[in-house]
Chains A and B, each alone.
Chain A
Amino acid sequence: MIRKEMIAMLLAGGQGSRLGVLTSKVAKPAVAFGGKYRIIDFPLSNCINSGVDTVGVLTQYQPLRLNTHIGIGIPWDLDRNIGGVTVLPPYEKSTNSEWYTGTANAIYQNIEYMESFNPEYVLILSGDHIYKMDYEVMLDFHKEKGAEVTIAVMPVPMEEASRFGIMITDEDHRITEFEEKPEHPRSNLASMGIYIFNWKTLKEALITMADQPALDFGKHVIPYCHQKGAPLYAYEFHGYWKDVGTLSSYWEANMELIDIVPVFNLYEEYWKIYTKSEILPPQYFADSSKVERCIIGEGSDVYGEVYNSVIGCGVTIGKGTVVRDSIIMNQTVIGDGCELNKAIIAENVTIGNNVKLGVGEEVPNETAPHIYNSGIVTVGEKSIIPDGVCVGKNAVISGVTTAADYENSYLAGGRTLIKAGEQ
């Protein structure tokens, strides 16, 4: 008989459209982070470090990178005889086949998967946050309080509270009320999107609410449980937790890793973050190189200068090139004599020689100023940038570009250059 005390369901199907071209071809949880990791490595590593060895990963948007990354879960020790990691895409049914229409709908469509493990508790996670958390401690809290639902919450500055789902609790941490993005928040405890449910409670709620369009945890399932009078508790978390949903927060979270003693420490032996390592060799620094305040992944070759940057695995940085305040993901090649200022360069990008990114004044982006801002130049994966071009701040480039795409070898600040078509 198969029995697991707690299993995890990891929601990894979202596009994360506020990351712009970074997620045009990959789901947000598969976006590279911190030199060698991908965002999903953090919740997956938390699971195994917390003793949760059964994880269903719900995928929908652009799952290829995610599927190859997760595989059978070897890097996280989630290759198990019973349990382990299972990728759960939406599937066709004899009646009403549908995509995952909401967070709770995705879970609802996989009731059978959860049922097969006879769990007592189900942990709901999302695949787009950077944090280290012991879910076992949260479960202890859940049991101790006799809760049916426990929501992990985090105190946020009061002025930012209106961006979050806010929980109002009594002195016993029991949730009395909650508000979704309130204009005048009455508490600063923001929901982190991490829930522990008693399996019975969850199953009953999902089945009852099944017909609700776009069934969502925050909007439907939690309010339903609350109305029913089920004990809901808030588990306060005080560690590092970062939502990397926007380009600027993504950039900031990466940059926090290069502090001399970072708040979020990747060097802790007892809470390792695991990832699939495809590249093993050490990194090489030529005589002409200079690095300061950086983290750099395996197998990168540095011939130029790198300051305040996060560099992935297998990256080449050419001679005479100066990289500042930038994020460069795996396998990207940057030519000689380039200047990169505050750029986010996705994977497998080729940048020619003497290219300057992030020059001039800050101009708002012409097409999507809410996505491309903070002066960051964003380059999508597999892009090619020809020799000798200059690119202004808040500009976006994606696809194979040639000299003809740049007027006088120049792409002004705030411009968007997205070339359609496959390579």
Chain B
Amino acid sequence: MRAIGIILAGGNNHRMKELSQKRAICAMPIAGSYRSIDFTLSNMSNSHIKKVAVFTQYNARSINEHLSSSKWWDFGRKQGGLFVFTPAVTADNSNWYRGTADAIAQNLSFLKNSHEPYVVIASGDGVYKIDFGKVLEYHIQKKADITVVCRDMEPGMGVERYGTLRMNEDCRIEQFEEKPIQAKMSTISCGIYVIRRRQLIEMIEKCAEEDRYDFVRDILVRYKDLKRIYGYKIQDYWRNIASVSDYYNTNMDFLKPEVRNYFFKQYPDIYSKVDDLPPAKYNPGSWIRNSLISSGCIVNGTVENSVVFKKSYIGNNCVIKNSIILNDVYIGDNTYIENCIVESHGTIQANSRYVGEDDIRIVVERNERYVM
């Protein structure tokens, strides 16, 4: 592959509420066994990108822990590898990453020292599959300066939260509006870009000189008439984790057979850090309907239309309905949970009741846990 990868994984998002209290958005658990960054990392690995840099900043510990070894995504190579760049104080810079472009600017030597002619930039909070090789092919064929991966959004999917764009018949981007108050266009940018490495270095250096820090506002929007910026439209499943309801719905999507089939059964696979947990165990009294259960779980109660992440314990006579139970949660006997997201490592006492009435309720419980 003639490209290196950059994953922007540093952002926070207050719309994730308590869920981003202790973790980066890119480290959000997805679909029982994965973290959101696994999708972008696996896509890069499967597209034969050999060298990948991950820029982390907000709650970096959570993501660094997940990336503690590069072998799960097959990046532990002599040529290339996985690089994690967290802001560092240097002789001539003591700032945090002030924006996406600034993050790249502060690590420009990574770009300068690479020899691959192209760069794939992607955010780490998307749930999707893509062959970056095809995007690069398209980029070269269109003689584009920047190619933006984009997608038409279904009605009601909150276009206003994204960068929206309009293309001409040749797919060149004519209009680009970042998070418009009222969206005029239904095509959104997926936050995935292909750009020539030297071009990127040049643009980033220019930005830095002018104290501009944001890749979208200060590069895409400003250069759209000057440079050849093209859109590459995808049709397949793509979701971005930007709010609690996005997060909830994305996880619930995996209860649909077509989504599971697309991600779990069809080539290529999505990889993740392996946890070496025993198989899930179902004791008498367990009853599971339309749900996903991950390895290491022990189930004694009823689970319905829910996603249960790894290593959770569900006690006797419990009912879990339309909920997401994150990793390593202990749920005591006779507990009723409906429309909730239960934060990881939580301990819920016996005989409790948690119901999200109008909205999804986030349950953070830190009780003492007594187990064998």
Chain B residues whose CB sits within 8 angstroms of the CB of A287 once the complex forms: 289-290
Taking the complex as formed, is A293 at the interface, i.e. its CB lies under 8 A from any CB of chain B? yes
- A96–B288 Cα distance when bound, in Å, is 61
Of B282, B289, B290, which is within 8 A of A296 by CB?
Answer: B282
Q: Whose C-beta in chain B lies nearest to the C-beta of A306?
A: B282
- Chain B nearest Cβ from A40, distance in angstroms: 15
Taking the complex as formed, is A84 at the interface, i.e. its CB lies under 8 A from any CB of chain B? no
- A260–B281 Cα distance when bound, in Å, is 9
When the two chains form their complex, are residues A294 and B282 in contact, meaning their CB atoms are under 8 A apart? yes
B interface residues, how many (CB within 8 angstroms): 39
Of B276, B282, B291, B294, which is within 8 A of A293 by CB?
Answer: B282
When the two chains form their complex, are residues B307 and A282 in contact, meaning their CB atoms are under 8 A apart? yes
Query: Which chain B residues numbered 321 to 350 have a C-beta less than 8 Å away from chain A?
Result: none
Chain A residues whose CB sits within 8 angstroms of the CB of B285 once the complex forms: 292
Of B31, B274, B280, B286, which is within 8 A of A292 by CB?
Answer: B286
When the two chains form their complex, are residues A266 and B283 in contact, meaning their CB atoms are under 8 A apart? no
When the two chains form their complex, are residues A74 and B33 in contact, meaning their CB atoms are under 8 A apart? no
Of B32, B71, B290, which is within 8 A of A281 by CB?
Answer: B32
- Mask of A256-284 contacts with B, CB within 8 angstroms, 1/0: 00101000001100001111010011111
- A298–B264 Cα distance when bound, in Å, is 11
Chain A residues whose CB sits within 8 angstroms of the CB of B264 once the complex forms: 281, 299
When the two chains form their complex, are residues A294 and B260 in contact, meaning their CB atoms are under 8 A apart? no
- A375–B267 Cα distance when bound, in Å, is 40
When the two chains form their complex, are residues B282 and A295 in contact, meaning their CB atoms are under 8 A apart? yes
When the two chains form their complex, are residues B295 and A293 in contact, meaning their CB atoms are under 8 A apart? no
When the two chains form their complex, are residues B274 and A280 in contact, meaning their CB atoms are under 8 A apart? yes
When the two chains form their complex, are residues A294 and B290 in contact, meaning their CB atoms are under 8 A apart? no
When the two chains form their complex, are residues A284 and B282 in contact, meaning their CB atoms are under 8 A apart? no
- A273–B255 Cα distance when bound, in Å, is 30
- A287–B290 Cα distance when bound, in Å, is 5
Taking the complex as formed, is A250 at the interface, i.e. its CB lies under 8 A from any CB of chain B? no
When the two chains form their complex, are residues A292 and B283 in contact, meaning their CB atoms are under 8 A apart? yes
Chain A residues whose CB sits within 8 angstroms of the CB of B280 once the complex forms: 283, 295-296
Of B270, B282, B295, which is within 8 A of A282 by CB?
Answer: B295
Interface residues on A, range: 35 or more
When the two chains form their complex, are residues A35 and B282 in contact, meaning their CB atoms are under 8 A apart? no
Q: Whose C-beta in chain B lies nearest to the C-beta of A302?
A: B288
Taking the complex as formed, is A205 at the interface, i.e. its CB lies under 8 A from any CB of chain B? no
When the two chains form their complex, are residues B289 and A298 in contact, meaning their CB atoms are under 8 A apart? no
Taking the complex as formed, is A297 at the interface, i.e. its CB lies under 8 A from any CB of chain B? yes
Taking the complex as formed, is B287 at the interface, i.e. its CB lies under 8 A from any CB of chain A? yes
Taking the complex as formed, is A36 at the interface, i.e. its CB lies under 8 A from any CB of chain B? yes
Chain B residues whose CB sits within 8 angstroms of the CB of A292 once the complex forms: 282-286
Taking the complex as formed, is A285 at the interface, i.e. its CB lies under 8 A from any CB of chain B? yes
Of B34, B286, B293, which is within 8 A of A283 by CB?
Answer: B293
- A74–B276 Cα distance when bound, in Å, is 12
When the two chains form their complex, are residues B292 and A75 in contact, meaning their CB atoms are under 8 A apart? no
Given contacts A74-B71, A292-B284, A292-B286, contact A284 B292 (CB under 8 A): yes
- A252–B24 Cα distance when bound, in Å, is 46
Of A275, A291, A294, A295, which is within 8 A of B276 by CB?
Answer: A275
- Mask of A193-212 contacts with B, CB within 8 angstroms, 1/0: 00000000000000000000
When the two chains form their complex, are residues B293 and A285 in contact, meaning their CB atoms are under 8 A apart? yes
Q: Whose C-beta in chain B lies nearest to the C-beta of A312?
A: B279
- A74–B282 Cα distance when bound, in Å, is 30
Taking the complex as formed, is B156 at the interface, i.e. its CB lies under 8 A from any CB of chain A? no
When the two chains form their complex, are residues A282 and B31 in contact, meaning their CB atoms are under 8 A apart? yes
- Chain B nearest Cβ from A85, distance in angstroms: 15
Q: Whose C-beta in chain B lies nearest to the C-beta of A294?
A: B282
- Chain B nearest Cβ from A314, distance in angstroms: 9
Q: Whose C-beta in chain B lies nearest to the C-beta of A301?
A: B260
- A272–B276 Cα distance when bound, in Å, is 7
Q: Whose C-beta in chain B lies nearest to the C-beta of A291?
A: B282
Give 10 new A-B contacts, CB below 8 A, not counting A282-B33, A286-B289. A266-B278, A266-B279, A280-B270, A281-B263, A283-B280, A283-B294, A292-B284, A296-B279, A296-B280, A310-B279
A interface, CB within 8 angstroms of B? 34-36, 74-75, 258, 260, 266-267, 272-275, 277, 280-287, 289-299, 310-311
B interface, CB within 8 angstroms of A? 31-34, 71, 255, 260, 263-264, 269-272, 274, 276, 278-296, 298, 303, 307-309
Could you list 25 examples of A-B contacts with CB < 8 Å?
A34-B278, A35-B278, A266-B278, A272-B276, A280-B271, A280-B274, A281-B264, A282-B31, A282-B33, A282-B307, A285-B288, A285-B291, A285-B303, A291-B282, A291-B286, A293-B282, A295-B278, A295-B279, A295-B280, A296-B279, A296-B282, A297-B295, A298-B33, A298-B294, A298-B295
